Amino acid sequence: MSLDESRRAARGSTSSDDSRPAVGGGTSADQPRHAARIGASPDESRPEEGGGKSPDGQPKSLPTATAAVDELRRARAYLLRVAEPPAAALVAFVARHGPIDAAARVRRGDCPPDVLKATEARREYDLVGQDFARAAAAGARLVVPEDDEWPAWPLLALELAARRGVTEAVPPLALWVSGEVALGTAADRAVAVVGARAATEYGEHHAAELSYGLATRGVPVFSGAAYGIDGAAHRGALAAGGVTVAVLGCAVDAGYPAGHVGLLNRIVRNGGAVVSEYPPGTPPARHRFLVRNRLIAALTEGTLVVEAGRRSGARNTAGTASALGKVVMAVPGPVSSGMSVGCHELIRDARATLVSTVDEVLETVGRFGIAEDQAARPKRPTDRLGPEALRAYEALTARSDRSDTEIAAESGLPLRKVRALLPALEIDGFAVRGEAGWRRRRESA
């Protein structure tokens, strides 16, 4: 990607739709496939029924969804609305009782004091039908932990951090997703690129350049869709024809930020996704962006900070990534630039690795096998396996066959992932298919 190309990607000059306001209803060439435009909601073309707002600033009444939604999905949609994320007490309550029983208990107030406190202001606002109607209008779906596409492995980092006492390290109850890409697939080998809203031309250029390079290597780029570095990162990935995912601190149908509604639609239209744990209609708020940052950090293998002031949301994301055991990287900038102070402090304090090229990013993340110099080549055959493939391999034994379900239980990987990995391990000479399952090939260790 040339300097001129990356500048255009960073500034968005190649996309005239980035500054157009969202419009409701109808279709246009700018709409994502099989979806309404993000920012368009059912009430833009019809008068609101009943009127009024709930305590969180959302409409009390909207048209209900016509399609039937399964009980489990409805329960999780209700639970997402009744407590402000990250809602640690509610998440633990759902883990104990299951979403359907937990939702019923919350509705009638039959829950522990900490759950009651978190839900008492909103538990009577049962807007599930309206939520699904608004989501359908925005081309969004609710992805739940019971779905195959749920990013269970990346989000496990939040659960493990919570056990270590990391505050606010709470997995989401569900996620609203607009876009055809399977969320688990997008998060499987992703890098977050984040930074300052008031970015410099230097920062936007490098954010676009690095994101372009990552996308050309098949690495999805996650960011927060904000102005500045986030927008440049999304555009850089789009320019390469790659997958990029925007994780929002508001609803997927909120049309925020207004100047990026077109960008959000381009992301969806070009095979990416727009993601939020906030119910349809939820407006943006500062605290929601900080809560959102934990998802950007958790859903990716590493977080790359391109520009950041001394106190910034990007540094918050980097801190969360570090607490989750993820890789943190930073791009150095001019020593005279206030927008690079945060990056320089992260590097100086050994909280981030200095990177300046795509190869350095991939080498630092260490999972994509990019390093090609002789010294970096694997010394053992299994050194070239990615973390998930290695976990599946280590769950095998050379003495007896194991079924795919046994391997999934031993490795902690989703069954669908294990079933995809085992044939690849066989082709690479690490596993052998037997009569009763799979075993380790002795000479591969």
pLDDT digits (tens, 9 = 90+) for 193-241: 999 999 999 999 999 999 999 999 999 999 999 999 999 999 999 999 9
Cβ contacts of 349-353, under 8 Å, gap ≥ 24:
351/318, 351/319, 351/322, 352/305, 352/318, 352/328, 353/327, 353/328, 353/329
User: Is-contact 192 278, C-beta < 8 A?
Assistant: no
In the Cβ-directed half-sphere of 56, how many Cα atoms lie within 13 Å? 27
How many Å apart are CA 445 and CA 441, to the nearest integer?
Answer: 8
Question: Quick one: pLDDT at residue 380?
Answer: 62
Q: Which two tokens stand for residue 37?
A: 């435009």
Percent pLDDT > 90 in the chain is 60
Question: Quick one: pLDDT at residue 8?
Answer: 52
Q: Which two tokens stand for residue 231?
A: 């927008």
Q: Which two tokens stand for residue 417?
A: 């992932």
pLDDT at position 26 over 50: no
Mean pLDDT of 406-427: 87
Confidence band, pLDDT 50/70/90 cuts, at residue 37: low
pLDDT digits (tens, 9 = 90+) for 228-260: 999 999 999 999 999 999 999 999 999 999 999
Q: Which two tokens stand for residue 319?
A: 């801190």
Question: Quick one: pLDDT at residue 197?
Answer: 93
pTM for this model (two decimals): 0.71
Strand ranges (E), 346-404: 353-354
Lookup result for tokens 């969004």: 140
Mean pLDDT of 378-396: 76
The region of weakest confidence among 130-139, 156-165, 269-278, 282-291 is 156-165
Lookup result for tokens 């109808």: 26
Q: Is the dihedral of CA 208, 210, 215, 220 positive or negative?
A: negative
Best mean pLDDT range from 23-37, 42-56, 124-138, 153-167 = 124-138
pLDDT digits (tens, 9 = 90+) for 55-78: 444 444 444 443 446 999 999 999
Q: Nearest CA to 361 among 152, 213, 156, 139?
A: 213
pLDDT at position 51 over 90: no
pLDDT at position 49 over 70: no
Confidence band, pLDDT 50/70/90 cuts, at residue 360: very high
How many Å apart are CA 29 and CA 13, to the nearest integer?
Answer: 18
- More confident call, 187 vs 66: 187
Mean pLDDT of 408-427: 87
Domains observed in the chain? 3-40+178-365 (3.40.50.450), 42-134 (no CATH), 381-444 (1.10.10.10)
Question: Quick one: pLDDT at residue 66?
Answer: 37
Task: List the helix and strand counts (H, then E) for the chain.
Answer: 18, 11
Residue 394 gets which letter from DSSP?
H
How many Å apart are CA 336 and CA 289, to the nearest integer?
Answer: 28
Percent pLDDT > 70 in the chain is 80
pLDDT at position 36 over 70: no
pLDDT at position 158 over 80: yes
How many Å apart are CA 439 and CA 174, to the nearest integer?
Answer: 36
Q: Nearest CA to 242 among 264, 262, 272?
A: 272
Q: Which two tokens stand for residue 152?
A: 């269970």
Lookup result for tokens 């493990």: 160
Quote the Cα angle for 156-277-291, to 5°.
75
How many Å apart are CA 85 and CA 43, to the nearest integer?
Answer: 25
